[in-house]
């Protein structure tokens, strides 16, 4: 929006003398919510673009508009057999959404991405300030080594471990940070289950991928971890994995087959409910099945007994609104009719 303000100041904007009602009508016609807002019309009054604050990132925006072209362009769908990166565009050719291989700056503030063609045309003069990384396409399959970029791991004693020791094993990628409040219970559940894995010698291992903000927090977090850890400074691999598996809710526990293929993203829920049984199921190359009696409503509290999260059948009262209770609380009685809510589908 700042760029837009600058533009309005730089260009000689001619105020159009209209009254409040006319302004209101225009506003309604173009469905404007935010101001300042700039809409580009063609000479025949058709809208050329209203994505102007984004388009103004290009210094050629006005030139393009006067040629009746928009800055952003969308590749034709028949050519787009590659990954479609929604909301991501190429900072050089302005392909939007970016399709195919994606190279990007790991610093989120930059929000700088390039398509393959533009990436290979980089010269010393137009180089970005930071080194760009090659993102893994969620459409493609990768081996465990490729996913982890052949990086070494460390133990909590800081000993190096190569990925070779993971051959033939099912892998749980454990994403979390010490700042993450719901992590503590899960971490202790996981540690107990892991002890069992070693004891009965299951072909399963865990790799921790930290989202801690500092090396100190990371060290503190890793102290108690019996499994292997991706080193803190390997932020490139971390970012690539987070993007590849679109990890947004933490802690996350993502289960991979020995080939690197995804088995399930619901590892955390499965461990919560089934403990070691979950891992035994994964090692048979199967997903864990849940009945509605053990479904965990992760962000719902029972308004009857206070159970948090609510586990099992969830009943909702439309009259009270925002009122959910568990089976036990329902049996104690409620003055209105209750609706049974169906568990959400697998989050995979
Ligand atoms: Zn490009
Ligand atoms: Zn950057
Ligand atoms: Zn209850
Ligand atoms: Zn009610």
User: 314, 300 in Cβ contact below 8 A?
Assistant: yes
Please list the ranges in the chain whose pLDDT falls under 70.
1-14, 77-80, 344-348
Asked if residue 120 belongs to a domain, the reply is yes
- On whether both 204 and 82 belong to a single domain, the answer is no
- On whether both 229 and 194 belong to a single domain, the answer is yes
Q: Tell me the residue ranges of DSSP E strands in 39-123.
A: 40-41, 47-49, 84-85, 98-99, 102-104, 113-115
Note the ligand closest to the C-alpha atom of 112. Answer: 2
CA distance 287 to 112: 37
With a CB cutoff of 8 Å and minimum separation 6, the contacts of 148 are 163, 207, 230, 237, 241
User: 147, 260 in Cβ contact below 8 A?
Assistant: yes
Note the ligand closest to the C-alpha atom of 322. Answer: 4
CA distance 257 to 264: 9
Asked if residue 139 belongs to a domain, the reply is no
CA 307 – ligand 3 centroid, Å: 6
Centroid of chain to Cα 204: 25
Asked if residue 195 belongs to a domain, the reply is yes
CA 298 – ligand 3 centroid, Å: 14
CA 66 – ligand 4 centroid, Å: 60
CA 343 – ligand 4 centroid, Å: 21
CA 112 – ligand 2 centroid, Å: 6
Asked if residue 100 belongs to a domain, the reply is yes
For residue 346, what pLDDT is reported? 43
CATH number at residue 262: 3.40.30.10
Q: Note if the bond before 236 is cis, omega within 30 degrees.
A: no
- On whether both 114 and 220 belong to a single domain, the answer is no
- On whether both 62 and 82 belong to a single domain, the answer is no
CA distance 246 to 236: 15
Asked if residue 81 belongs to a domain, the reply is yes
**What residue numbers bound the domain in which 305 lies?**
294-341
- On whether both 25 and 126 belong to a single domain, the answer is no
Asked if residue 347 belongs to a domain, the reply is no
CA 91 – ligand 1 centroid, Å: 7
Note the ligand closest to the C-alpha atom of 92. Answer: 1
| Consecutive H or E run containing 197 | helix 183-199
Beta bridge partners of 73: 95
Locate all alpha helices (DSSP H) within 67-163, ordered by sequence.
116-119, 144-147
CA 322 – ligand 4 centroid, Å: 9
- Among residues 66, 85, 103, which one ends one of the domains? 66
- On whether both 224 and 243 belong to a single domain, the answer is yes
Centroid of chain to Cα 287: 22
Q: Tally the domains of the chain.
A: 4
For residue 50, what pLDDT is reported? 86
User: 287, 257 in Cβ contact below 8 A?
Assistant: no
For residue 248, what pLDDT is reported? 84
Specify the 3-state DSSP secondary structure of 141: coil
Q: Which residues of 183-209 are buried (b: 16+ CB within 10 A; e: fewer)?
A: beebbeebeebbeebeeeebebbbbbb
Asked if residue 348 belongs to a domain, the reply is no
- On whether both 89 and 170 belong to a single domain, the answer is no
CATH number at residue 305: 3.30.60.90
Asked if residue 270 belongs to a domain, the reply is yes
CA 314 – ligand 3 centroid, Å: 9
Specify the 3-state DSSP secondary structure of 65: helix
Note the ligand closest to the C-alpha atom of 325. Answer: 3
- On whether both 156 and 223 belong to a single domain, the answer is yes
For residue 348, what pLDDT is reported? 43
- On whether both 206 and 320 belong to a single domain, the answer is no
CA 180 – ligand 3 centroid, Å: 26
CA distance 148 to 163: 9
Q: Which residues of 238-268 are buried (b: 16+ CB within 10 A; e: fewer)?
A: bbbbbbbbebeebbbbbbbebeeeebbbbbb
- Among residues 114, 134, 154, which one ends one of the domains? 134
- On whether both 127 and 158 belong to a single domain, the answer is no
- Among residues 66, 95, 112, which one ends one of the domains? 66
For residue 241, what pLDDT is reported? 96
CA distance 251 to 211: 10
CA 27 – ligand 3 centroid, Å: 49
- On whether both 154 and 223 belong to a single domain, the answer is yes
CA 187 – ligand 3 centroid, Å: 25
- On whether both 276 and 148 belong to a single domain, the answer is yes
Q: How far is CA 127 from CA 54, 61, 235, 240, in A?
A: 21, 21, 21, 21
């Amino acid at each position: 929006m700042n760029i837009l303000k600058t533009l309005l100041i730089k260009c000689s904007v001619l105020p159009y003398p209209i009254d409040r009602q006319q302004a209101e009508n225009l506003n309604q016609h173009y469905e404007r919510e935010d101001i300042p807002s700039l809409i580009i019309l063609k000479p025949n009054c058709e809208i050329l673009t209203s994505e102007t604050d984004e388009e103004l990132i290009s210094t050629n925006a006005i030139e393009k508009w006067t040629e009746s072209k928009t800055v952003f362009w969308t590749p034709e769908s028949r050519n787009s057999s590659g990954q479609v990166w929604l909301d991501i565009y190429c900072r050089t050719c302005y392909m939007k959404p970016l399709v195919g291989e994606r190279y990007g700056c790991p610093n989120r503030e930059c929000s700088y991405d390039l398509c393959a063609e533009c990436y290979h045309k980089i010269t010393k003069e137009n180089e970005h300030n930071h080194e760009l990384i090659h993102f893994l396409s969620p459409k493609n399959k990768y081996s465990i080594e490729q996913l982890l970029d052949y990086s070494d791991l460390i133990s909590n004693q800081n000993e190096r471990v190569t990925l070779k020791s993971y051959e033939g094993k099912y892998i749980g990628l454990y994403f979390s940070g010490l700042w993450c409040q719901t992590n503590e219970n899960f971490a202790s559940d996981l540690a107990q289950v892991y002890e069992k894995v070693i004891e009965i010698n299951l072909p399963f291992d865990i790799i921790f991928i930290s989202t801690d903000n500092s090396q100190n927090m990371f060290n503190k977090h890793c102290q108690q971890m019996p499994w292997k850890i991706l080193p803190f400074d390997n932020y490139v691999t971390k970012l690539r994995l987070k993007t590849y598996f679109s990890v947004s809710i933490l802690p996350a526990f993502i289960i991979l087959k020995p080939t690197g293929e995804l088995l399930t993203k619901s590892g955390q829920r499965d461990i919560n409910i089934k403990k070691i049984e979950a891992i035994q199921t994964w090692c048979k190359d199967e997903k864990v099945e849940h009945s509605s009696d053990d479904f965990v409503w992760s962000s719902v509290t029972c308004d009857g007994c206070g159970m948090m999260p609510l586990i099992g059948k969830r009943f909702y009262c439309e009259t009270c609104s925002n009122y959910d209770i568990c089976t036990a609380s329902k049996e104690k009685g409620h003055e209105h009719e209750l609706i049974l809510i169906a568990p959400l589908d697998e989050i995979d």
